[in-house]
């Protein structure tokens, strides 16, 4: 307390705790999903690990003394079943972290229609189903949070990302709309927006050494634990007033200018000016 401010100071580490809260992680079997399971469990959450591969779900669940469920999150009956299992085993579902997402790359003029539809199912359909059924369940119990993994492909453009990028943009729109619609039910909805991630699947496909690829520099690919850390924040009471938000975790890639710019160091009392041709930089008196 000071003479200017007598507002209470919360116990910030406690706001990160999720003791005895029930969370469902969909796509838990590897990569971002497995790390998210560990992140939530490390602060006391009880976790249902959902994956389309039962063996992977069981292995990850065993690591954190959690529960396992094999389900296809693009299937309505499976989503209803996994949420029913979550209620039975966790008692109450306080949050959902949906990690599911894959892509089929092709130029728009060459993309088969079935690949377009597949991208939207793999990126967006499960998000709709988990929001529809999961939010209703959480609203009835007083609220909760839903967090998704989107992509910078949903806010930027790259060749061959047409289907995937359009679906990820749709996911971000869904997050904003759901946040508005569910606010009165005390259900928060957010997304993490990664750039490049050195996941085990991609590392295997491209022969990448994960230790070398993720050396910690901002310009290196993200570790899967970086994405899990962001999801942990959004799932905790530290983010109690955060909803409808897209949290970018890309090492600064989106804010980097695409144009190479070099300029001399500016001394005190001077300002940086740009010549009329826009090609060269010069120092002028401040």
* Measured distance CA(30)–CA(169) in Å, rounded: 24
153 is catalytic: no
- Of 151, 153, 235, 236, catalytic: 151
E strand map for 9-100: 22-26, 46-51, 67-70, 95-98
Token output for 41: 């469990």
151 is catalytic: yes
**46 beta partners:** 22
Buried b / exposed e over 94-131, threshold 16 CB at 10 Å, is bbbbbbbbebeebeeeebeeebbebbbebbbbbbbbbb
12 is catalytic: no
Name the nearest CA neighbour of 24 among 185, 137, 103. Answer: 137
- Of 147, 153, 164, 236, catalytic: 164
- Of 7, 12, 158, 168, catalytic: 168
For the annotated catalytic residues, the residue numbers are 151, 164, 168
């Amino acid at each position: 307390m000071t003479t200017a401010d007598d507002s209470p100071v919360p116990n910030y580490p406690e706001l990160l705790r999720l003791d005895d809260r029930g969370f469902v992680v969909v796509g838990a079997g590897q990569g971002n999903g497995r790390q998210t399971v560990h992140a939530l469990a490390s602060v006391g959450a009880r976790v249902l690990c959902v994956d389309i591969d039962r063996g992977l779900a069981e292995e990850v669940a065993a690591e954190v003394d959690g529960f396992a469920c094999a389900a296809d999150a693009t299937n309505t009956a499976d989503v209803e079943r996994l949420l029913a299992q979550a209620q039975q085993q966790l008692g109450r579902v306080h949050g959902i972290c949906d990690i599911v997402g894959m892509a089929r790359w092709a130029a728009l003029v060459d993309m088969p229609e079935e690949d377009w539809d597949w991208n939207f199912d793999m990126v967006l359909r499960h998000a709709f189903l988990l929001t529809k059924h999961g939010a209703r369940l959480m609203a009835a119990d007083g609220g909760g949070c839903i967090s998704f993994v989107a992509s910078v492909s949903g806010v930027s453009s790259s060749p061959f990302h047409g289907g995937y990028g359009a679906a990820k943009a749709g996911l971000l729109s869904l997050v904003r709309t759901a946040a508005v619609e569910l606010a009165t039910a005390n259900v928060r909805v957010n997304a993490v927006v990664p750039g490049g991630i050195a996941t085990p699947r991609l590392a295997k496909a491209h022969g990448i050494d994960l230790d070398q690829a993720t050396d910690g520099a901002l310009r290196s690919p993200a570790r899967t634990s970086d994405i899990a850390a962001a999801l942990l924040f959004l799932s905790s009471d530290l983010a109690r007033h955060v909803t409808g938000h897209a949290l970018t975790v890309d090492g600064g890639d989106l804010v980097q200018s695409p144009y190479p710019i070099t300029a001399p160091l500016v001394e005190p009392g001077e300002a940086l000016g740009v010549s009329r041709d826009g090609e060269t930089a010069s120092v002028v008196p401040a």
